[in-house]
């Protein structure tokens, strides 16, 4: 019996030791925070692996994970993640298939009756344009009419569901990544929200029938703009690119696809102020919106030749060339959008005084993503540029990191062989063109870059082809979302207003803060103490803030916060946790200062206390509402379950 007790005691000790070790493991903190951990959401297709670099199991879209470790592996950053903040480790995710989720915010729609349907816009500026219009109804009408008639609306990725989905009964995650406030001409403060996904029930939405898809895709078209380094070493590659485009034009003309595929071309060199003989930093030779056919294209690029003088540096103004294509081409008329960079040298970084853009690779990539443009890079690794190969490859890997595929669309041409390059250009242009053909005709594209027999895809002879196939499919889905006017694929980020775009007094959405048990408990405790101090303050106004400053000193939420001793505003005292900071709302509690409190008469002070008590009652109800606590990750600790608290009910 004693031996059993000893063994049992040893087992218990080991169990406690293991538990304590797990509990000691904490996620990484967010930058500048003392209590908030790093969190990410998974994109569709993101796989959880047992070790960094290994094949893993696909996770449900927009699962929430805490980040315990960040580790570089080759060109990728990997994240060691867990389902909760209590030391449980699930495995590893590629950082590129996740999005940071600093504030746990989600969006819920109000009842659509009596207001305009809410639209998910590709660009923030389009929402602002309607809100700031003298006649918002007139500005909104063309969008609604086009969607009703199943016409393309490039600015709109999706619209809200026709019927209300009650989040109280059926929770759905529509993560909010950021926000901005706009004061409209009609006198309302409207919140613009950057949204990362749609409902997790999106997969269950009725799909378009093959016949409908075929009709939808009739107007689908693509623009492919080549951005070519035209410096002194690029002569053979320039001519080979012209040849490839000529071949493609012959093909699309024979198949009557002239209106579905348009090519453009931008050439770039380097700073002409440093070397005037270069003639131009960058130059638009062919705009895809104005080119007529293959003959017209070749006529416009007839004078495109390599430079006759050398640049002042090895690196060229590649980002200037790419930005010229992004800025000078009107991409809104194209369903699929591609820029193909061809170069044998690195790019002038934004910090270089010769750079025309002052942008780095990530910033240019963001500009492309803003326009829905996919960036490819074909890097000619010529023997003469060997010393520059590694640096250039790192730049272009970063530049072409694609949000749909979660990988760089970077392709090196070893030795810079002209024939190998030509084959690559032919393959890529044919793949893209083939995708447009199959999409336009309504044929199934899955399984092959060219819409060929599914057996072709299994060969995977060239990753370039499979990348083109997958990317095209993603773009096609985006286009179908526009045409159907229902739901866009969840990978897209978009902008939406929290109020009716026309009747801006009508709320169209509610922002919910997803609080954990501990956060809600902490919030309730602090609010009780603020209410008690306020009640005392009604008798002696000077005592209220003195009492709260004393309380803040004993709580020690932020050990580095010394300003609380002399704080005159509640938000400066550190009473409320960091999960409150940065929320997109004007906090009545945090903004209250000592002078304002003293200036209020007894009635106004009483109203303030009453409002706080009302919110306290809500928090108690939330805590008891067991059916609405939601687990945001499989196998997460129940203590990290969240409750969707309306933003307006925050203190």
Task: Output the DSSP codes for 352-417.
Answer: STT-SS---HHHHHHHHHHTTPEEEEEEEE-GGGGGGHHHHHHHHHHHTEETTTTEE-EEEEETT-
**Mean pLDDT of the 555-579 span:** 64
For residue 149, what are its two tokens?
A: 């008639």
The number of angstroms, rounded, from the C-alpha of 581 to the middle of its chain's C-alpha atoms is 22
Give the least confident one: 71-75, 143-147, 331-335, 511-515. Answer: 331-335
In 10 A of CB 542, how many CB atoms? 11
- Of 534, 526, 527, 582, nearest in space to 554 by CA: 526
**Mean pLDDT of the 324-336 span:** 86
**From CA 46, how far away is CA 41, in angstroms rounded?**
10
For residue 64, what are its two tokens?
A: 């929430």
566 CB-near residues (< 8 Å, 6+ apart): none
User: Residue 435: which region, alpha, beta or left (left: phi > 0; alpha: psi -120 to 50)?
Assistant: alpha
DSSP state, residue 301: T
Write the pLDDT tens digit of every residue in 154-168. 888 777 766 555 555
Q: What burial class does residue 83 get, using C-beta atoms within 10 Å of its C-beta: 0-12 exposed, 13-18 middle, 19+ buried?
A: buried
Beta bridge partners of 261: 222
Q: What is the pLDDT of residue 109?
A: 77
Residue 116: pLDDT band (50, 70, 90) is: confident
Is 565's pLDDT higher than 60? no
Write the pLDDT tens digit of every residue in 258-300. 777 888 999 998 888 888 888 888 899 999 999 888 888 888 8
What burial letters (b/e) apply to 43-77, b meaning 16+ CB within 10 Å? bbebbbbeebeeebeebebbbbbbbbeeeeeeebe
Q: What is the pLDDT of residue 480?
A: 44
- Of 219, 209, 304, nearest in space to 265 by CA: 304
Order across the sheet with 282-286: list the strands.
282-286, 261-268, 222-229, 336-343, 374-381, 410-414
Which residue is associated with the tokens 């080549």? Answer: 226
In 10 A of CB 123, how many CB atoms? 16
DSSP state, residue 26: -
| Helices and strands, number each (H, E), in the chain | 16, 23
**Mean pLDDT of the 139-143 span:** 92
Q: What is the pLDDT of residue 214?
A: 47
Collapsed DSSP state (helix, strand, coil) of residue 432: helix
**From CA 121, how far away is CA 25, in angstroms rounded?**
41
Is 585's pLDDT higher than 90? no
Give the least confident one: 50-59, 252-261, 597-606. Answer: 252-261
Is 242's pLDDT higher than 50? yes
Give the least confident one: 129-138, 377-386, 518-527, 577-586. Answer: 577-586
- Of 60, 76, 71, nearest in space to 28 by CA: 71
3-state helix, strand, coil in the chain (%, to 5): 40, 20, 40
pLDDT, greater one: 430 or 268: 268
Give the least confident one: 50-64, 226-240, 292-306, 402-416. Answer: 402-416
- Of 175, 143, 79, 125, nearest in space to 490 by CA: 175
Give the least confident one: 113-122, 197-206, 344-353, 576-585. Answer: 197-206
To the question of pTM greater than 0.75 for the whole model, the response is no
Residue 169: pLDDT band (50, 70, 90) is: low
DSSP state, residue 566: G
pLDDT, greater one: 4 or 272: 272
Is 319's pLDDT higher than 70? yes
**From CA 481, how far away is CA 484, in angstroms rounded?**
5
- Of 326, 396, 313, 306, nearest in space to 353 by CA: 313
pLDDT, greater one: 224 or 319: 319
Q: What is the pLDDT of residue 290?
A: 92
Is 564's pLDDT higher than 60? no
Is 500's pLDDT higher than 70? yes
Q: What is the pLDDT of residue 171?
A: 63
Is 461's pLDDT higher than 50? no
For residue 321, what are its two tokens?
A: 């060339």
Indicate the Cα dihedral angle 509, 514, 517, 518, nearest 10°: -120
Question: What percentage of residues in the chain have a pLDDT greater than 90?
Answer: 14
Is 206's pLDDT higher than 50? no
Is 5's pLDDT higher than 60? no
535 CB-near residues (< 8 Å, 6+ apart): 609
Q: Are 313 and 353 in contact (CB under 8 A)?
A: no
Q: What is the pLDDT of residue 650?
A: 84
Collapsed DSSP state (helix, strand, coil) of residue 47: strand
Q: What is the pLDDT of residue 448?
A: 24
In 10 A of CB 143, how many CB atoms? 21
Q: What is the pLDDT of residue 560?
A: 47
Compute the mean pLDDT over every residue in the chain, rounded to the nearest whole number.
Answer: 76
Q: Are 265 and 225 in contact (CB under 8 A)?
A: yes
Is 452's pLDDT higher than 80? no
For residue 499, what are its two tokens?
A: 């109020």
Q: What is the pLDDT of residue 607?
A: 85
């Amino acid at each position: 019996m004693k031996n059993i007790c000893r063994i049992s005691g040893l087992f218990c000790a080991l169990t406690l030791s293991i538990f304590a070790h797990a509990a000691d493991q904490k996620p990484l903190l967010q930058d500048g925070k003392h209590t908030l951990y790093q969190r990410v959401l998974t994109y569709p297709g993101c796989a959880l692996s047992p070790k960094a670099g290994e094949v893993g199991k696909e996770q449900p879209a927009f699962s929430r994970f805490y980040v315990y470790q960040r580790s570089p592996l080759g060109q990728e950053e990997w994240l060691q993640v867990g389902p909760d903040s209590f030391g449980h480790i699930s495995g590893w995710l590629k950082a590129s298939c996740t999005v940071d989720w600093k504030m746990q915010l989600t969006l819920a729609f109000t009842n659509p009756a009596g207001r305009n349907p809410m639209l998910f816009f590709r660009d923030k500026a389009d929402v602002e344009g309607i809100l700031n219009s003298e006649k918002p109804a007139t500005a909104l009408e063309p969008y609604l009419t086009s969607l009703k008639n199943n016409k393309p609306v490039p600015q709109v990725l999706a619209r809200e569901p026709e019927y209300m989905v009650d989040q109280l009964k059926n929770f759905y995650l529509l993560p909010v990544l950021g926000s901005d406030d706009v004061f409209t001409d009609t006198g309302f403060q409207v919140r613009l929200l950057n949204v990362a996904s749609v409902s997790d029930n999106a997969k269950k939405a009725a799909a378009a029938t093959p016949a409908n898809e075929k009709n939808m895709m009739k107007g689908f078209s693509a623009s492919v703009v080549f951005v070519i380094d035209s410096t002194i070493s690029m002569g053979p590659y320039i001519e080979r690119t012209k040849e490839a485009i000529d071949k493609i034009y012959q093909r699309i003309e024979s198949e009557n696809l002239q209106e579905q595929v348009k090519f453009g071309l931008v050439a770039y060199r380097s700073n002409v102020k440093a070397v005037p003989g270069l003639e131009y930093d960058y130059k638009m030779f062919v705009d895809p919106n104005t080119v007529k056919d293959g003959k017209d294209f070749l006529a416009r690029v007839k004078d495109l030749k390599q430079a006759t003088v050398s640049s002042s540096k090895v690196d060229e103004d590649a980002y200037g060339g790419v930005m010229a294509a992004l800025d000078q081409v009107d991409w809104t008329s194209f369903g699929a959008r591609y820029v193909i960079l061809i170069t044998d040298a690195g790019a002038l970084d934004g910090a270089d005084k010769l750079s025309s853009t002052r942008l780095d690779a990530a910033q240019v990539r963001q500009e492309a993503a803003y326009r829905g443009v996919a960036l490819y890079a074909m890097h000619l690794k010529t023997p003469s540029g060997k010393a520059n190969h590694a640096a250039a490859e790192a730049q272009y890997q970063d530049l072409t990191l694609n949000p749909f595929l979660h990988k760089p669309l970077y392709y090196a041409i070893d030795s810079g062989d002209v024939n190998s390059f030509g084959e690559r250009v032919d393959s890529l242009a044919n793949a893209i063109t083939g995708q447009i053909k199959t999409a336009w005709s309504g044929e199934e594209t899955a399984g092959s870059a060219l819409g060929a027999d599914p057996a072709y895809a299994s060969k995977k002879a060239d990753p370039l082809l499979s990348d083109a196939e997958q990317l095209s499919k993603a773009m096609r889905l985006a286009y179908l979302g526009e045409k159907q006017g229902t739901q866009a694929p969840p990978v897209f980020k978009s902008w939406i207003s929290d109020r009716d775009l026309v009747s801006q007094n009508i709320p169209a959405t509610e922002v919910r803060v997803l609080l954990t048990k501990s956060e809600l408990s902490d919030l309730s405790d602090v609010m009780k103490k603020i209410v008690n101090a306020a009640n005392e303050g009604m008798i002696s106004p000077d005592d209220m803030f003195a009492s709260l400053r004393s309380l803040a000193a004993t709580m020690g939420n932020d050990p580095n916060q010394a300003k609380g001793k002399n704080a005159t505003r509640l938000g400066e005292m550190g009473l409320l946790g960091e999960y409150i900071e940065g929320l997109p709302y004007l906090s009545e509690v945090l903004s209250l200062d000592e002078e304002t409190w003293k200036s209020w008469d007894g009635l106004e002070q009483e109203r303030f206390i009453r409002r706080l008590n009302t919110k306290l009652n809500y928090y108690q109800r939330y805590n008891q509402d067991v059916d609405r606590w939601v687990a945001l990750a499989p196998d997460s600790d129940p203590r990290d379950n969240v409750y969707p608290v309306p933003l307006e009910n925050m203190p």
